[in-house]
Amino acid sequence: MNTSDSEEEFYNERTALVTTDSPTMATYTQDSELPGPVVTENKTGASARLARGAREGESAADSEDEELTLKYGAKHVIMLFVPVTLCMVVVVATIKSVSFYTEKNGQQLIYTPFTEDTPSVGQRLLNSVLNTIIMISVIVVMTIFLVVLYKYRCYKFIHGWLILSSLMLLFWFSFMYLGEVFKTYNVAMDYPTLVMIIWNFGAVGMICIHWKGPLQLQQAYLIVISALMALVFIKYLPEWSAWVILGAISIYDLIAVLSPKGPLRMLVETAQERNEPIFPALIYSSAMIWMVGMARPSSEQRDQDTDEEAHQNNAESLERSQEEPEDQAFVGRSRAYSAEEEQEEERGVKLGLGDFIFYSVLVGKAAATGGDWNTTLACFVAILIGLCLTLLLLAIFKKALPALPISITFGLVFYFSTDNLVRPFMDSLAAHQFYI
Amino acid sequence: MTVAVFFGCAFIAFGPALALFIFTIARDPLRVIILIAGAFFWLLSLLLSSLVWFIAVKASRQEEATAQKGLLIFGVMFSVVLQEVFRFAYYRLLRKANEGLAAISEENLSPISIRQMAYVAGLGFGIMSGAFSMINILSDSLGPGTVGIFGDSQYYFITSAFMTLAMTLLHTFWGVVFFDSCERNRWWAVAVVLSLHLLVSGLVSPSPSHRSRAVRTHNTCADKRP
């Protein structure tokens, strides 16, 4: 089965760990320069207010916001651990139970034309490297194409493209997946029921991802489509090519997000400049919402309101701040900080879907090759620790960072070393019932 | 082997650890991170020790069974020592992190104490150690077969489960004792932890009587005062 180009495109943009979709975040550390780099917090509607307030009470806002950033750092990490874990669990469970995704029947994607069924090791290695080069070039071309489209505001084209690819994922791939699961468990199913199920699943998914829906449902759908995409990769990428591609794509991610002319960086910066969120279909957002606490003296509220009216804020945040009980007044606290606390309703960190996909590909391949669960577990822990480190760096640098390199490096190192070194050791220990 | 054996052994081996995780760790994100980082450190120590063992095996004569057994015992001892070294390294890292957390918090108090971190780190080591020992056995127990058909003990699964449970809890206790004695500079207590770990891991008898080994380990477990 050959996947379409929209498939490719679908995942490859999603490999940045981005941290905001909100309007321009002029951080307190940048006074006058345009907010180029992406910042950590995602505060809806608060940015303009914060920017102005920040210039007023800059140092106070600075340290206090710094504190809040780091205080909620652990929460953000867990908010990403859970979906990444869920995606990996789904992929591993499927790989271990449904044999379809581990069967190789010679079919390959058009992006990896060279076969690995060669007599010599050298030839096989060469073929996998060539496959990787082709795959990465396709990804680079698609990314640049997307960035060009975005720069020239061809939104309709991009949206059409994304809708087409999520249509394919939500309907066609999930139909295939369901079919294989039914085959594995020998479940009898009739077409009308199946059509109902797939139609409902797909239609609600399209609405949740591309329009509006409950946050958790949207997150669930994004996890499911990442898992489906990862399963397709696990099935159709040849063995060695998959590992080389994983390595190469983390290098590409590093370059694309960090270098000044990198396509992903330009995408993020353009979105920032235009105060637009990056397409919802490409990013998993972990925004958490909490209500602000107690009532606040009305005088400050009035100040707040005039402040708000003076800015152009979207209606939502205006409503929200007027409706909700304000936080208690701290004596001597600067207005900037109060403004920020009051508006602090949504904070989250965003992870590109490509990251989900490649993490799951790594863990899924570890589960697929060989029956050893230790390898899978080791890769899982390695990826989580890599993600943790990446988020730590994100908290320090406060700009969009590639989420693939550290995790994939750890994952690859742990996969090969656990498979070749730890496995024989643990097997011998288990045979003699040694416990360490 | 039946599903009952699978669930039974799984809950014996991982039940207490799971309960500890759910009731004390799952709510606090910082503790979850410390747990997973602890598991990672254990994994690193295992990686290095298996590297050493692997090199030793490749360098030795492979035909002799006794040499292989000896090398395995050497591997076990080396792994235990390396685990304690990594536990110490993790202690240092957590100390630094604790100071950092205290510095950035409002009241200059860290949100988590070194004792809690010791417990969580120990549990992280324990869970990872238990998982690596038990998961393959559990997955085998789901498949077809008969335990001990070639004359080995038929209690292999259940003794493995109990041993895994003991090791998980022991790692937790050792973590607490270790960190506490490092805090107070009681190096003799650290040496006691190390020697107990060596003792437990080295409990092997020529004709493995699995039940007696499990009992001896559980006695060690009962003697720990967390």
B141 in reach of chain A (CB within 8 A)? no
pLDDT per residue as tens digits for the range A250-287: 999 999 999 988 898 998 889 889 888 888 788 898 87
What tokens does B7 get?
Answer: 């669930």
Length of chain B as a residue count:
226
B54 in reach of chain A (CB within 8 A)? yes
Is A340 within a domain? no
pLDDT tier, A73 (very low <50, low <70, confident <90, very high otherwise): confident
- Asked whether A348 and A288 are in contact (CB, 8 A), the reply is yes
pLDDT tier, B169 (very low <50, low <70, confident <90, very high otherwise): very high
B148 in reach of chain A (CB within 8 A)? no
Any catalytic annotation for residue A327?
A: no
Quote the pLDDT of residue A26: 34
How many Cα atoms within 13 Å fall on the side-chain side of residue A346?
20
Is A323 within a domain? no
Whole-angstrom distance, CA of residue A249 vs CA of residue A384? 18
Q: Using an 8 Å CB-CB cutoff, list chain A residues near B53.
A: 425
pLDDT tier, A288 (very low <50, low <70, confident <90, very high otherwise): low
Residue B129 has pLDDT above 80, yes or no: yes
pLDDT per residue as tens digits for the range A133-180: 999 999 999 999 999 999 998 889 999 999 999 999 999 999 999 999
**Total number of domains in chain B:** 1
- Helix residue ranges per DSSP H, A327-435: 335-343, 353-368, 373-397, 404-417, 423-432
- Asked whether B144 and B56 are in contact (CB, 8 A), the reply is no
- Asked whether A135 and A264 are in contact (CB, 8 A), the reply is no
The minimal CB distance from A436 to the residues B69, B79, B213 is found for: B79
Q: Which domain holds residue A176?
A: 71-285+350-432
Mean pLDDT of B47-68: 88
**Total number of domains in chain A:** 1
Count helices and strands in chain A by DSSP H and E runs:
18, 6
Any catalytic annotation for residue A253?
A: yes
Our CA-based measurement puts residue A413 at a distance from the nearest CA of chain B, in whole angstroms, of 10
What tokens does A354 get?
Answer: 């490509």
Mean pLDDT of B157-183: 95
Instruction: Give B 183-202 residues with CB within 8 A of chain A.
Output: 200-201
Q: Which domain holds residue B204?
A: 1-223
Contact B132 A435 (CB under 8 A): no
Q: Choose among A306, A308, A384, A303: nearest CA to A351.
A: A384
Whole-angstrom distance, CA of residue B5 vs CA of residue A422? 26
Is A11 within a domain? no
Does B9 or A334 have the greater pLDDT score?
Answer: B9
Q: Which of B29-33, B129-133, B213-217 has the lowest mean pLDDT?
A: B213-217
Per DSSP bridges, beta strands A283-285 and A288-289 are unpaired
Which residues neighbour B189 within 8 Å (Cβ) at sequence distance 6 or greater?
Answer: B177, B178, B180, B181
Our CA-based measurement puts residue B187 at a distance from the nearest CA of chain A, in whole angstroms, of 22
Quote the pLDDT of residue A272: 86
Quote the pLDDT of residue B216: 56
Does A159 or A49 have the greater pLDDT score?
Answer: A159
Quote the pLDDT of residue B203: 78
Q: Using an 8 Å CB-CB cutoff, list chain B residues near A366.
A: none
B129 in reach of chain A (CB within 8 A)? yes
- Helix residue ranges per DSSP H, A152-262: 155-167, 174-185, 191-210, 215-236, 239-258
Q: Which of A21, A65, A253, A419 is catalytic?
A: A253
- Asked whether A158 and A146 are in contact (CB, 8 A), the reply is yes
Inter-helix orientation angle B114-141/B156-183, to 10°: 170
Residue A213 has pLDDT above 70, yes or no: yes
Our CA-based measurement puts residue B185 at a distance from the nearest CA of chain A, in whole angstroms, of 26
Binding-site residues on chain A for chain B (CB distance < 8 A) = 66-67, 70-71, 74-75, 77-78, 81, 371-374, 377-378, 381-382, 384-385, 388, 414, 417-418, 420-422, 424-430, 432-436
- Could you tell me how many CB contacts below 8 A there are between chain A and chain B? 116
- Asked whether A151 and A158 are in contact (CB, 8 A), the reply is no
Long-range contacts of A175-180 (CB under 8 A, 24+ apart): A177/A94, A177/A228, A177/A231, A180/A98, A180/A100, A180/A101
Among chain B residues, the shortest Cα distance to A429 is held by B72
Q: Is B129 left (phi over 0), alpha (psi -120 to 50) or beta?
A: alpha
pLDDT tier, A115 (very low <50, low <70, confident <90, very high otherwise): confident
Whole-angstrom distance, CA of residue A95 vs CA of residue A364? 7
Contact A385 B40 (CB under 8 A): yes
Say which residue the tokens 């994922």 belong to. Answer: A169
Residue A347 has pLDDT above 90, yes or no: no
The mean of the pLDDT values for chain A is 77
Quote the pLDDT of residue A291: 40
Chain center to CA of A233:
17
**pTM attached to this predicted model:** 0.80
pLDDT per residue as tens digits for the range A383-428: 999 999 999 998 888 888 999 999 999 999 999 999 999 999 999 9
Mutation pick from B21, B48, B50, B215 vs chain A, by most beta carbons of A within 10 Å, is: B50
Quote the pLDDT of residue A68: 60
Q: Is A106 left (phi over 0), alpha (psi -120 to 50) or beta?
A: left
Residue A302 has pLDDT above 60, yes or no: no
What tokens does A392 get?
Answer: 């730590």
The minimal CB distance from A372 to the residues B37, B43, B136 is found for: B136
A119-to-A103, A116, A125, A370 alpha-carbon distances in Å: 20, 9, 11, 22
Task: For residue B17, give the H/E element and its range.
Answer: helix B3-20
Say which residue the tokens 């019932």 belong to. Answer: A433
ipTM: 0.90
Is A56 within a domain? no
Contact B208 A433 (CB under 8 A): yes
